[in-house]
Amino acid sequence: MGKILIHIGGLCYSLVVGDGNLGFSYLLGSIDHLALMWLSLEVISLINTKPWREGVSWYRVLMRPIVAVAALSLTTIACNHFGVENSIVNMTESMQTMFLP
């Protein structure tokens, strides 16, 4: 919840104080991070609720996570196209600094 508020506050600040290009890049990066958090929440919800044990069809079980994957893929492609740092790059760099000397 805090990360969402930070993104919204940073977006408002960049739109009011900064130039339009900074606002667009911050908006695109924020949407990408929110898509990653949405995908994470969908996967956690899927694991915790285990709807496939209740006889729910696989289509209904995987529909929301697949939409979240599509949203993350589209925002990551848009970030790469416009040269905005995205959540996949951030995760990769964090893993490298965590595990490599």
Question: Directed axis angle between helix 20-49 and helix 2-16, to 10°?
Answer: 170
By the 10 Å C-beta count (0-12 exposed, 13-18 middle, 19+ buried), 55 is classed as exposed
Query: Whole-model pTM?
Result: 0.69
pLDDT of residue 3: 65
pLDDT digit string (tens) for the chain, length 101 residues = 676 676 667 767 766 666 555 667 777 777 888 888 888 899 999 888 888 788 888 888 889 999 999 998 888 888 888 877 777 777 677 777 777 66
For residue 96, how many other CB atoms are within 10 A of its CB?
Answer: 9
- Grouping H, G, I as helix, E, B as strand and the rest as coil, residue 100 is coil
Apex 25 CA angle, 28 and 37, nearest 5: 30
pLDDT for position 70:
92
| pLDDT value, residue 22 | 62
Of 36, 25, 39, 28, residue with least CA distance to 3: 36
| Sequential DSSP letters for 63-96 | HHHHHHHHHHHHHHHHHHHHT---HHHHHHHHHH
